[in-house]
Amino acid sequence: MLKQEASTDRRNLASQTLVLILAGGRGSRLYELTDMRAKPAVYFGGSRRIIDFALSNCINSNLLKIGVITQYAAHSLLRHLQRGWSFLPYERNQYIDMLPARQQIDDKTWYRGTADAVYQNMEMMKSHYRPKYVVILAGDHIYKMNYNKMLEDHVDSGARCTVGCIEVPREQATEFGVMAVNEKLKVKAFVEKPSDPPAMPDKPNSSLASMGIYVFDADYLYEMLEQEVSNPDTSHDFGKDIIPKAVEQGVIYAHPFERSCEGRNTTGTIYWRDVGTIDSYWSAHMDLVSEKPQLDLYDESWPIHGRPQQTAPARFFYKKARAHTLDNSLIAGGCVITDAEISNSVLFGRVHVNEDSVIEQSVILPQVKIGRNCVIKRAVVDRHCEIPDGLQIGVDPEQDAKYFRISKNGIVLVCQKMLDKLAKEKASQTA
């Protein structure tokens, strides 16, 4: 009888589950890239946005009841969701609902943390969505994961809460929240950025770091959130408040990402990236143009969907015979390249590059116009930038530092405000 009930429960898991994607963060370490958009709305991979990975994982996992919780600079993200992710049929009880921050009758605060963001939507969850299980995701990481496998592990273990964890070398685990687990993966302790990270039971050189992915029994989640909101010492955060209390109560298990990862490289290594800095963002794009990229954007068995756009094909026109024109790059639709050299770069849609310009190891976001005789090396250029004729970026670090942002590893971030400042200064010098 118990086996039959478990089997029935497994068959109905998807219909009983609500996914909440936390997409309200700014991503301040990306600096000007997130001045006008939340981190989940930042462009990635030539034709996608960061949030498309979490949403695609949901679709591919057959979890089709989704709420996206937004707050900071949400316009770009909401527009992307409306235009690219409105295809689920509500008449079949499938949806991607947008849940922007809003003041409640009895609460005049905005979202004060990840747990509070869920708490302020709790009454709607109870009265409208009525899930048995709640999957909570961050909307700002790059990875491929079958959430349904994690959900099944949650039910099979009898946990009230399950935390997605990634295996990391023990010496690197000092930068993460780390789970100490027993042989059955029951969490015995949770420590934030420990100096001496606990090792995995069967792997003394590895630790389990939290990915910020959670599965809760809905009734247990409501109970924990109700307790937390009346706690004067809370940070209103899952990692700092809710998870440690679940550990104390002995109801939480770990789910190793290894079990449900759908994105592996040619050697079988799992792929998960936080592209939260300029350097990590640039590096993840350079991986995409390598000979054997760690992330496969062309994998049709686990596709990453995005907003479909009707663009003309990329156009390459060369009036001059050249030995070197284009290599090892991703060029999106609508780009127009005229007598320019491009290598090891990612160009998003509708980028125009004019005569005798050179682009190397750079990420060019949509609708950028690059003039004649320009040089751009090891740079990230924001959307709608207009690079004037003859400008050199990534060639002279001292000159770049006067006008642009330079990352720790020497990557140059360029936005239109910086270019306007440069143009104004040059105009004043020639006046």
| CA 312 to mean position of chain CA atoms | 28
The distance in angstroms from the start CA to the end CA of the chain is 87
Q: State yes or no: 108 annotated in a binding site.
A: no
Query: What residues pair up with 425 in beta bridges, in sequence order?
Result: none
Q: State yes or no: 203 annotated in a binding site.
A: no
DSSP 294-349: SS-TT-TTS---------PPPEEE-SS--S--EES-EE-TT-EEES-EEES-EE-T
Q: State yes or no: 210 annotated in a binding site.
A: yes
Phi and psi angles of residue 203, each rounded to the nearest 5 degrees, phi first? -140, 90
Q: State yes or no: 28 annotated in a binding site.
A: no
Task: Look up tokens 């969850």; give the residue.
Answer: 125
Query: With contact defined as beta carbons under 8 Å apart, do 364 and 336 qualify?
Result: no
Which residue from 384, 342, 348 is spatially nearest to 363, judged by alpha carbons? Answer: 348
Q: How far is it, in rounded angstroms, from Cα 101 to Cα 236?
A: 15
* Exposure b/e, 9-41, CB count within 10 A at least 16 = b: eeeebbeebbbbbbbbbebebbebbbeebbbbb
Q: How many CB atoms lie within 10 A of CB 415?
A: 21
Q: How far is it, in rounded angstroms, from Cα 353 to Cα 360?
A: 13
Q: Which two tokens stand for residue 38?
A: 């939340």
Q: How many CB atoms lie within 10 A of CB 166?
A: 18
Q: For helices 2-11 and 147-157, give the axis angle rounded to 10 degrees.
A: 160
Q: Which amino acid is at 24?
A: G
Q: State yes or no: 240 annotated in a binding site.
A: no
Range 349-353, long-range pairs (CB < 8 A, 24+ positions): 349/47, 349/309, 349/311, 350/311
Q: Annotated binding site for alpha-D-glucose 1-phosphate, which residues?
A: 111, 177, 192-193, 210
Q: Annotated binding site, which residues?
A: 111, 177, 192-193, 210
